[in-house]
């Protein structure tokens, strides 16, 4: 995937911004949203596992899936 990248520099020649084609920005943005969704799901799973571990360590009996349903 060839990308035409343009940099914006300040008066000292330091790069301060970048311009990329909208097609590439759209792809980057979509990929970022997918990654955010994955992180959210994995965080929820991690929290649930920590909750189960905490309940198990407290000595309380856990409800089975069968009894829940």
Parse the chain into domains and list their residue ranges: 22-68
Euclidean distance between CA atoms 37 and 48, whole angstroms: 17
The pair of structure tokens assigned to 29 is 């943005």
What pLDDT band is residue 37 in, cutting at 50, 70 and 90?
very high
3-state secondary structure of 31: helix
Q: State the pTM of this model.
A: 0.61
As a whole number of angstroms, the distance between CA 33 and CA 38 comes to: 9
More confident residue, 64 or 25: 25
pLDDT exceeds cutoff 90 at 58: no
Q: Is the pLDDT of residue 36 over 60?
A: yes
Higher pLDDT, 14 or 59: 14
Rounded Cα gap, residues 52 and 24, in angstroms: 42
Instruction: For residue 18, list its beta bridge partners.
Output: 7
| pLDDT tops 90 at residue 45 | yes
Look up tokens 């905490």; give the residue.
54
């Amino acid at each position: 995937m060839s990308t035409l990248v343009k940099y914006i520099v300040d008066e000292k020649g330091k790069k301060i911004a970048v311009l990329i084609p909208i097609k590439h920005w759209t792809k980057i943005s979509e990929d970022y949203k997918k990654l955010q969704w994955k992180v959210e799901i994995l965080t929820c799973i991690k929290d649930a596992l920590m909750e189960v571990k905490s309940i198990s360590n407290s000595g309380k009996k856990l409800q089975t899936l069968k009894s829940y349903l």
